Chain A
Amino acid sequence: MPRKPRRPSSARSPQAAGGGAPRRADRAADPRPVAAGSGIRPMAGGAAPVQPEPMGAERLQEGPRHTEGHPPVELIPLAPHEIMAEALRRVERPTRGYWALVVVLALLTAVGAMGFAVRLAGGFANRAAWGYYATTFICLMSMTQPVPIIAWVSRFGKGQWALPFRRIADLFGVIGIVNLLWFLPLLWTLPPLVGRNNIWFDWPVLAPWGWDLLGMLLLVGAGLANLWAGALPDFAAARDAAPPGRGGAARRLALGFQGTIRQWRVVTSGQVILGGVMLAAYVYIMTLLVGDFSMSLVPGWRSAVYPAFTVVTGWESAVATLIVTMALLRRFGGLRDYLTVDQFWALAKLLLVLVLFWFYFFWADFIVTWYGRQPDEQAVLSLTIFGPYWTPFVLGALLMLVIPLPLLIANKVRTSIRGATVVAVLVMIGTFFDRVRLYVSAYSIPDPLAPAPAVVPPTHYPDLADLAIIVGGVAAAALVYVLAWRVVPILGLWELREGLLLRAIRPFLRTRVLVVAKPF
């Protein structure tokens, strides 16, 4: 898709110029010319338009005034009406590339469905055969469900750097539908509760199926509600911009939203509340899934930190997924103007923290388990780390910690889009291997009712059906995400416009600075 040339600043919204001089700097105009491609956004009435850059070129430009070589901040070079036109065009008139992508994903999903059919034909008696199915489900839960929570955290903390990707993150809520459907067959893979340690203490009422399903419904529902609430104003915009006789779907989804002050308060507060519900639901369901589909299948496995490990490493993989999604949308989806190095840099910093958390939670579990030298605990270490799943453990540790850590510490990688994306891809692959060692191993235990210590079974390798399921699962999630663009604009219009209002680049003595407004 050809990149839009940047418009001269005179075409921008006058609101973006802001008002009010910074304290202790009262230079009204900077007489120095602004060089094209310098990364400095011209002020109102400023220099000539910047020439478009070739496709694939990094927009990272190192200004001479930055000691650390950090890239200068860039604001979106478009006016609000241009953003809206682009967003609505994507919903109403998708390109041929879009449909090609849908077809490919649908075919891969069909492959996955065939793999599932083969697995289903084998029945549920052989639990080990369902190990990779369970792993794929947990991977999808880890990589997709927490992504809207990242957007929520930025709302809660009023982080405006996140405005361009909040809608992209919120859209991951629709993948909950895939996760919910994926989850249902797994309920049949669980052995009876009685006779083994379990988190329900043999509670007979709805345990585990009912409570697990309730948790999934809560999480998926909150994700969808959060997406709808956040998109409500954009549905109203689409409704009002639609030609006569069209826009029925937008009209129905907009529910008569008119943009009154009260309605805006309800939308923004509602998103904060729904995000909190999503967070609580995610922590709740992951705790249950870890207990039911991993820990309680292995005699002698008792680890209080393991649910927290899964939650936090889920966030790590979710941040990585978001970075990769943004990179793909920037490269192939024409969102170069919206997704700048600022967003990738911020997420790379968050990813660095979460990489360290992977190590921390893993170590918290390992050192206590290793130190006690109890036979049952040593058997669990043998199962999940030192024994048949040593290779997935090493791969997981390498890809989620050892390689990303020094890369993300290096300024050059952390402040570049390509660097952050490469690291994110490694983390996503590492997540899969990490989940293999925890879930395939648990599913491979032949008798969960045996007394501890458990006999460590051999490695269970994936067959063709498992590979098809893995590919199909990822494709199904991506397909639902891509199809959702036809309903919900991928650009959060009202949030982007808010960003234009709240951020401005202004001269400050002999430099330019970013001014960020923080409404209370």
Chain B
Amino acid sequence: MATETGGRRAVLGLFRSADATADGVDALRAAGFRDRDLDVLTDSPFPEGAFGERPIHHRLYMFPLMGAACGFAVGVLITVGTQFSFPLVTGGKPILSIPPMINVLYEGTMLGALIFTVLGVIFESRLPHRLDRAYDPRIMRDGLIGLEVKAAPDQVATARDVLRDAGAVDVVGAAAE
């Protein structure tokens, strides 16, 4: 499936085995393609570094912190606000009772952290994503492994050749110019 990203085109090679895919990655590197232009698509996770990829950079840890701060702030607003708005002494406890507040603040903080974490996962995973870009249903349906390479227009043919030579059962993507 062809796609254009800043003038670069995505070529997708489909492989039957992880070994062949790793060979394909090596071959593409040897042919001069950069690590950041390569990606592997699988229907299940592999150990980190299995295809020789570099560690990903992400900011996922910022999301729970932000969410916790927001949740805490909302919790303070609700607990302090309601206690001062309706200043009734109940059970001999002070108007601003900190111990009961802690329970609600805690839940608010955790709720914020959880919601933001999930949003962060979706965001950092670059989702939602349109599937007409660099994808083949055989990856999820039949368990084939996709090796995506983003190539400049004059490198598309090289990419296709390298993928075929590495053992791809099919190569989909931009045709050679």
Interface residues of A, Cβ cutoff 8 Å to B: 24-27, 64-68, 363, 366-367, 370-371, 373, 508-511, 513
Contact = CB atoms under 8 A, between A and B. Distances in A.
A397 to B, nearest CB: 13
B19 A25 contact: yes
19 contacts: A27-B19, A65-B49, A65-B54, A65-B55, A66-B48, A67-B48, A67-B55, A67-B58, A68-B55, A366-B99, A373-B91, A508-B47, A509-B19, A509-B46, A509-B52, A510-B22, A510-B25, A510-B50, A511-B49
Given A25-B18, A371-B91, A373-B93, A509 B50 contact: yes
Contacts of B18: 24-25, 509
Contact of B99 (A24, A66, A371, A509): A371
B5 interface: no
Contacts of B17: 24
User: Interface of chain A, helix or strand or loop or mixed?
Assistant: loop
B144 to A, nearest CB: 14
User: Interface of chain B, helix or strand or loop or mixed?
Assistant: loop
Contacts of A508: 47, 50
B50 A511 contact: yes
A442 B51 CA distance: 63
B32 interface: no
Contacts of A25: 18-19, 50
B91 A510 contact: no
Contact of A64 (B55, B92, B100): B55
A296 B18 CA distance: 67
Nearest to B26: A510
A66 B53 CA distance: 10
B30 to A, nearest CB: 13
Interface of B: 17-19, 22, 25-26, 46-52, 54-56, 58, 91-93, 99-100, 102-103
A511 B17 CA distance: 16
Contacts of A511: 47-50, 52
A90 B169 CA distance: 61
Given A25-B18, A26-B19, A509 B51 contact: yes
Contacts of A24: 17-18
A263 B158 CA distance: 65
B102 to A, nearest CB: 8
Contacts of A371: 91, 93, 99-100
A64 B22 CA distance: 18
B48 A65 contact: yes
Contact of A510 (B51, B56, B58, B92): B51
Contacts of B52: 509-511
A64 B49 CA distance: 9
Given A27-B19, A511-B48, A373 B92 contact: yes
Contacts of B19: 25-27, 509
Given A65-B55, A67-B55, A510-B25, 11 more contacts: A25-B18, A65-B49, A66-B55, A67-B56, A370-B99, A373-B92, A509-B50, A510-B49, A510-B52, A511-B48, A511-B50
List the 8 closest A-B pairs by CB distance, nearest first.
A511-B49, A65-B49, A510-B52, A67-B55, A509-B50, A373-B92, A509-B22, A513-B47
A65 B51 CA distance: 10
A370 B99 CA distance: 8
Interface core residue of B25, B49, B58 (most chain A CB under 10 Å): B49
A352 to B, nearest CB: 15
A373 B22 CA distance: 68
A508 B48 CA distance: 10
A102 B49 CA distance: 49
A508 B19 CA distance: 9
Contacts of A26: 19
B22 to A, nearest CB: 5
A508 B47 CA distance: 8
B103 A367 contact: yes
Contacts of B47: 508-509, 511, 513
A394 to B, nearest CB: 15
A68 B49 CA distance: 13
Contacts of A513: 47
A66 B57 CA distance: 10
A26 B55 CA distance: 23
A233 B25 CA distance: 50
B177 to A, nearest CB: 32
Contacts of B55: 64-68
A26 B46 CA distance: 14
Interface core residue of A65, A510, A513 (most chain B CB under 10 Å): A510
Contacts of B25: 510
B5 to A, nearest CB: 24
Contacts of B56: 67
A402 to B, nearest CB: 14
